Structure formats: structure tokens, C-alpha cells
Structure 1
Amino acid sequence: MISRNYINHTVLQISTGVVGSSLSLVLSTVVPPEHAYWVVPFLCFESIFLMLSMVGGSTISGYDLSPTFAPIVYGVAGTCSDAVGLFGPLLETWLISDKTAADEWRLVFIITALVASVPSIAFVLFASDKRQDWGDIEIRPAEPKPEISVIGESTERKDNEF
């Protein structure tokens, strides 16, 4: 896919990480109760895939788009990701009445996987790591500020002043 220019390395790495993370979450919900120990490796893989998507390229993408506006891009992205992080405990509160019911937890994990996968699919379809036209503006250095002086008074400190 990369050699045929269908997708670039950054997009492939991020989407593989998010889709792998979501798949690990969904697979952990279908493990039979007698083999519950298999949930631990699935959740470990979920963490590994998630780190692949975060460390692999998303930290560079903002600077690729516009070095000038990278802090603003990261501020908006961080706000959105933190808002999604707040959604998890609320979802658990709304959907789970019996904390031992596997079906209720399965629904929470599937919704979490969808919340992670849908933006990843949008990223693969629409994202670019090319420098954007809106990011190429010229920033002029600030003009020097005039110095303020007091006429008629000495600006030197006297020894008896604190």
C-alpha cells in the first residue's frame, strides 16, 4: 500500500494502532468466562497498539501541517482527546447497573472501540501530512518598545533605600 502511494507511512501506522487497539477491546469481550485469563493479553495488546498509534506519528503531524500553528493544533487535539477520556466513566455510569454483568461491559467496550475507530477511519480518508497553505504566514518580529524615563529624577538607587 505504501509503495503504490495509496497511503503514507504515518497514516498507516496511526490507523493500524487505533484499529488494532479497537479490535483487541472487542475481542476481550467475547472471551468465555472459563477462559477469562485471555482477557489480560488482549488488554496488553490494546495498550501496545494504542502506544503505536500515539508515539508513531501523531506527535509529528501538527508540525508537518504548520510549524507556526502547531501549538494551536495540539491544543484543539488535546482538548478533543481529553473530552473523549471524560466520556468513558460517564458511559460506564449510564450503561452499567450490575457491575458483574458481562453483557453490559461488552456494550461499553464495543462503544469505546467505535469511538476510537471512527475518527481513525476519518483520519485515513481525509488526513494529510503535507504542509498546509493556511500555515504559511509571515510573522514579523515585534517592534522595539520605547524606553520609559522620568525627567528630573535620578534612576540610581541610593544605599539607604530598600
Structure 2
Amino acid sequence: MDIAGIRREVDRRLEPWSEQLGADRPGYTNHCLRVLTLCDRLAAPHGFVATDREEFLTAGAFHDIGVWSANTFDYLEPSAALATAWLTDNGRADLIDLVARMVDQHHKLRPAATPDDPVEIFRRADAIDVEFGILGRFGVPRSTYRELSRDLPDAGFHRRLLRLGAKRIRTNPLSPLPMLKW
């Protein structure tokens, strides 16, 4: 799927949360698009296009939405719940377990599955974007990530995450990053 098609699918899923996303909508949307584009790159050696599959489009759009929909930095569960509702409402309940794992494991610090598993592909793609392609690129060239970032600018997304993280540290110093998993 081309980037315009991916954007339409992400926008369709995010529309009900436009008000909650507010000024963060462009940054979050571009993060989702970067992650999904990276999923395509990581899935290609395994013989499929991630963005042609509902599980990737849904996990991509909803994976962090709980930050805004539930107003929390402990957002994995509310994000998975919204993805589950979307899948149910759109006749894809067969994907609920997989998408819930994709959302729940996307901040796992160690591999979540084999490299060809959707859960691991999604985890790696999100890690590349969250880390600006610096720490681990899983075979994605630095130039590819730079080009992707140029075409889909950050629009304050990472800065917003840093502010939310700092607030979480002040209010919950014993649980500063609840989304991280070993």
C-alpha cells in the first residue's frame, strides 16, 4: 500500500480521537505512518507487505492512543482495548489476540517473538522510530530512516513523549515507564 493509502487507513481509525489528540494529531499520525512503513521494510524479507494486513494497520493506529484517550502514560491496556473495539466493530474479531499482543509487546526490551512474527516486526519498527533509528535499525539503513523522517516529520511527537515521561517520573517515581517490559 502506498503512503497515501496507509494515511487514509490510519486517519479512519484515529478520527474518533481527533479532539483528544488535538495539536498532537500530526505528530502521532506521522509516528504511526513511520512505524507502519518500517513494518513494510522489516516484513519484506519474510515475503509479505505489512500494510496490506489489518493487524498491522490496526496495531499501528492504536498502539499509543491510550496516552490521549485515557490520559495516561500507562497506556498499553487502554490502547489494546480500543484496538479490540475497532476489530470487533469491523468484523475482525479473529485478530483480537494478535493485535492485543502487538500493542502489549511493542515496548518489550528483548525480542517478543521470531523475526518473522508480526509481534516482533511491529516491536522492531516502533523501536526504530522511538529511538530515531540510532540504537537498533534491524537492517534498515540509516539513510532510509532519515528519508522517512524527512517525508513524515516528527511534528513534536518525541518532544511530547519526553514531557509526558518527565511528568510521569515526578508523579510516579517508582513506576516511571510502565509501558516497558523485559
Common fold by TM > 0.5: no
* Higher RCO by CA contacts (8 Å cutoff, separation 6 or greater): 1
Bin of the TM-score, shorter chain as denominator length: under 0.3
TM-score (norm 2): 0.24
TM-score (norm 1): 0.26
Structure index of larger Rg: 1
